[in-house]
């Protein structure tokens, strides 16, 4: 059975309450529940992890190597400046799909650059919670190849 890890960075535990005009009203648990249901249909094991701490996310990325088949990763603010997280993603053999709820390219200038995108399999952004679902569908497609 294929295994997918969904990693979420800082402040994503506040979804549903934090800036709903940008991030919507759904909680991270709501998104995970949808993903869990779709993964079950596709016969994929899916695990979820969220942390507000850079080092803990790096540890999770490193521990995922040779354990998971894919990582779906919303690094949140770390996307734009964490070379340490970028290096952790580059150091593992697990393909990573970067996701964002908002379109980072339409927001403040500092959000336009992702240091993770160059070492990720791909990036999906701007679709709201559907960014996560699109990433999961991409994983399902890749696993069938």
The model's pTM is 0.93
Domain with residue 43: its CATH number is 3.40.50.9100
Assign 102 a pLDDT band (cuts: 50, 70, 90): confident
- When pLDDT is averaged across residues 10-20 and rounded to a whole number, the result is 80
Cα gap 14→28, rounded to integer Å: 8
Domain total in the chain = 1
Report the residue count for the chain. Answer: 145
Cα gap 131→123, rounded to integer Å: 9
Assign 17 a pLDDT band (cuts: 50, 70, 90): low
Cα gap 133→99, rounded to integer Å: 10
Say yes or no to pLDDT of 104 above 70. yes
pLDDT of residue 25: 76
Q: Domain limits at 140? A: 2-144
Q: Starting at the edge strand that comes first in sequence, how are the strands of the sheet with 2-8 ordered?
A: 44-50, 2-8, 70-74, 96-100, 122-125
The rounded percent of the chain whose pLDDT value lies above 90 is 81
- Please tell me which residue, 113 or 70, carries the higher pLDDT value: 70
Average pLDDT of the chain is 93
- Please tell me which residue, 108 or 51, carries the higher pLDDT value: 51
Q: Cα dist. 89→11, 62, 76, 118, 128 in Å?
A: 20, 8, 15, 10, 23
- When pLDDT is averaged across residues 15-36 and rounded to a whole number, the result is 82
Sign of torsion over alpha carbons 81, 32, 2, 138: negative
Tokens of 116: 């993770």
Which range among 87-91, 107-111, 116-120, 134-138 shows the weakest confidence by mean pLDDT?
107-111
User: Helix 28-41 and helix 130-144: axis angle, to 10°?
Assistant: 20
Assign 117 a pLDDT band (cuts: 50, 70, 90): very high
Q: Kindly list the catalytic residues.
A: 23, 100
Is residue 123 a contact partner of residue 101, using CB atoms and an 8 Å limit? Answer: no
Can you tell me whether residue 104 is helix, strand or coil? Answer: helix
């Amino acid at each position: 059975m294929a295994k997918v890890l969904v990693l979420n960075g800082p402040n994503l535990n506040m979804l549903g309450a934090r800036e709903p005009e940008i991030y919507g009203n759904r909680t991270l648990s709501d998104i995970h529940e949808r993903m869990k249901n779709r993964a079950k249909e596709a016969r994929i094991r899916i695990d979820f992890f969220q942390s507000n701490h850079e080092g803990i996310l790096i540890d999770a990325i490193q521990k995922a190597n040779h354990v998971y088949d894919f990582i779906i990763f919303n690094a949140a603010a770390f996307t734009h400046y964490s070379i340490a997280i970028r290096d952790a993603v580059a150091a593992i053999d697990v393909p990573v799909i970067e996701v964002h709820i908002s379109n980072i390219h339409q927001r403040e200038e500092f959000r336009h650059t992702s240091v993770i995108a160059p070492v990720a399999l791909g990036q999906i952004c701007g679709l709201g919670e559907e960014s996560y679902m699109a990433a999961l569908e991409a994983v399902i497609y890749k696993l069938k190849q």
